[in-house]
Chain A
């Protein structure tokens, strides 16, 4: 296959970026999308040019590092996979492919197609945990969790933190990402003691990072490679208002928990 790529190149966060056109020639349909970029990069290096920078690591759809906006969709044209799982047989010979980074104010570009997603980590640090030190002595089976709850908590916990939800959203909202963790811990019995403080702390950090609000468009759910559902957002909103209206005092406990 021979393809034309229009790739966003940007030296760093301070510099303006632009699209640059490249030819990708002799591409096998069995290659993954990232392997196709590897081939292009190898030829750039041979010419002494700088390779196109993109984030990637596990290349099996679980680490959440890869993050390309391909022909106007996060992780490309197929549903429920990440860019590293996308294969070139999903494109046709001669196609023009436009490749951009995630675009959101809270995700500044680092270089070319890689963005800074540390805002996600800071939201998790604000409250995405259960305050328990290593060495608990409660036997694991002393905590009973109904299977249906455990399964639903697992579904929320499969989020890989890639940021496709933010990239897909016209408001650059991180509600799907935040609500997945709030839901996972909020549904489990272990997460109850900090349920109200957690949701407030995480939402406060989400707002501080500059993510937009949710207007129920649903692009996040449609583009999520792990099919995380908007039900999580409903649960989070419910908990958030519940906490704000009736349990405001709990938020102050959170910052000092664990010491």
Chain B
């Protein structure tokens, strides 16, 4: 085990980033065109980075597995984006956004990084408005804000319930302009399958063309991964079907440490699972808890009748209902943070008080809100969400309560990066959700979009130059033997997958893995359960390499092959997540260990032993990974136990 240095600049919080920017080396404007930069992933972080670096004069090669950069999953973000503009004059500031984010992350994020994030948040809004992003506005023509995720100030900018879409299309338009100008070469339907190291430095990638199957090599002076989160390790999540960990995982196997993999965010208000056929879960915006009341029946008998359809939700008398969040958290009520709301819903289901056909759901009831505000007012606020719910469930939330249940939504863990966003592999960077750096153990609402764009627009354009200036513009040639060697490794791996002609589909393995992860490494974790999960995943992985079926061949469009590679990586990641969760014998943010609770049953941190980032080092196939620690120093904030009673 070694200690990691995050290279956070010394000095007062508010001066760290400015000083650091001044100390970073610059690349001469005339020399920028001599550098090639590879960007993998074209969501908010990757799209913003590719466009901004091309504007500076670098030659960018951008890659995405979708048919267009506009499809990246950033597009699905609903709620909004935080920025410390204080346009509402309600007491917001950079420091307050910083403080809320550190506290919300349950004191498991770096002060220096989070302060920088809050600092550049204001520039993001300026940038997006200049691009023509149509944010919501007030009648005077100024930008509108709302309060989001229990924040005490209104700092969230939004574009109806489609903020991610509008921000992504803004980044996409900036990217398109650079493609048009010839500064970005865009490779769509291309999946990165490995990173090429030359003398220990990242100098290129190996990709598979998803149309022709061609395995290709691409060189660059640096490689930027902006490939998103790994929530699909749970099979069912709110992520897109194609979201995967492959690029990040293959980089991990080439030496990039993977940090805090067990930190996953489980969002409390999603539409429940209806059956084994289900392929994904749909989020219902957090804003619904502003007016909806969460409840479960008081007794198992009533719940049983509801599950069997003997009675309907509306027929349950007031005294037979348990508004459990209001009962347990009188001051925050239904607006407790995501992790707390999720765990309590699970508790109801575990006590057999869950509802719906499967019994794995609780109610979110709008009857009071409709009575108080009128149906029209509720429709004006939540109409599109109610329609979406009706479309999926065929139930009318105006006349009966919604059924909701938590679902995997975001992953705070990811590739370890230093303050410059560089991984432990020189020249290899990680941006956006695929790195671990800013959200600690729990992400606040409307912060994911902020971080992705901060990394892409305002951090990497500065920090990358420092590295490039150091290594110099000497061209990187794909004729170097390291490229051919890595390419052959990939071809061998693809052939190994194609040779699988067993009896069980890759999707079935994925579903089995998801069940294990959800059961033992989901909302509540124990040493016993995690140990069991490790054995189960290990056995499942061994079985995969014997009994999976992968149809077709390489030289064609072959989604079965694509999926096989992604699931193989999830099977390895799953084990690491379990190891990480087992090692962290405290509860913090989204990671709840039943062994570590307060007397009231709330998450109990152990700052003395666990105020560190766990960065795991790959040591070879079937070898245990080695834990490296980055100690988290809190110079400016005082660590407190969160309480929402």
A interface residue numbers (CB < 8 A to B): 11-12, 28-32, 34-35, 38-39, 42, 45-46, 48-51, 53, 55-65, 81, 85, 87, 89, 110-111, 114, 116-118, 120-121, 124-141, 143-147, 150-151, 153-154, 157-158, 160-161, 184-185, 188, 190-191, 258-259
Contacts and interface: CB of A to CB of B under 8 A. Distances in A.
A114 B186 CA distance: 20
B141 A58 contact: no
B590 to A, nearest CB: 22
Contacts of A150: 134-137, 141
B559 A126 contact: no
A135 to B, nearest CB: 7
Interface in B93-141: 123, 125-132, 134-141
Given A58-B75, A141-B143, A126 B180 contact: yes
Given A58-B241, A63-B73, A136-B126, 14 more contacts: A28-B275, A30-B393, A31-B275, A45-B505, A48-B501, A56-B241, A57-B240, A130-B130, A133-B55, A134-B55, A141-B142, A144-B140, A147-B138, A190-B131
B126 A137 contact: yes
B277 interface: yes
Interface residue tally on B, bucketed by range: 35 or more
B392 interface: yes
B73 A35 contact: no
Contacts of A128: 173, 176
Contacts of A118: 67-68, 188
Contacts of A89: 394
Contacts of A130: 130-132, 173
Contacts of A42: 505, 507-508
B71 A63 contact: yes
Majority DSSP secondary structure for residues of A touching B? loop
B85 interface: yes
B188 A58 contact: no
Contacts of A87: 391-392, 394
B139 A121 contact: no
B70 interface: yes
Interface stretch (B162-170, B286-294, B430-438, B443-451): B162-170
Interface string B219-246: 0000000000000000000101110000
Contacts of B137: 145-147, 150-151
B551 A51 contact: yes
Contact of A124 (B176, B391, B394): B176
B552 interface: yes
B166 A154 contact: yes
Contacts of B162: 62, 158
7 contacts: A38-B277, A46-B549, A62-B162, A63-B71, A65-B67, A134-B458, A141-B85
Interface of B: 48, 51-52, 55, 66-71, 73, 75-76, 85, 87, 123, 125-132, 134-143, 159-160, 162, 165-166, 169, 172-174, 176-177, 179-181, 186, 188, 211, 238, 240-242, 274-275, 277-280, 282-283, 388, 391-394, 457-458, 461, 501, 503, 505, 507-508, 549, 551-552, 556-557, 559-560
Contacts of B238: 60
B76 A58 contact: yes
Nearest to B69: A121
B455 to A, nearest CB: 12
A258 B181 CA distance: 8
B73 A134 contact: no
Given A46-B505, A161-B68, A190 B138 contact: no
A35 B174 contact: no
Contacts of B66: 57, 63, 65
Nearest to A159: B169
Given A135-B127, A150-B137, A157 B505 contact: no
A144 B132 contact: no
Given A136-B126, A141-B87, A144-B141, A154 B159 contact: yes
B277 to A, nearest CB: 5
A126 B169 CA distance: 15
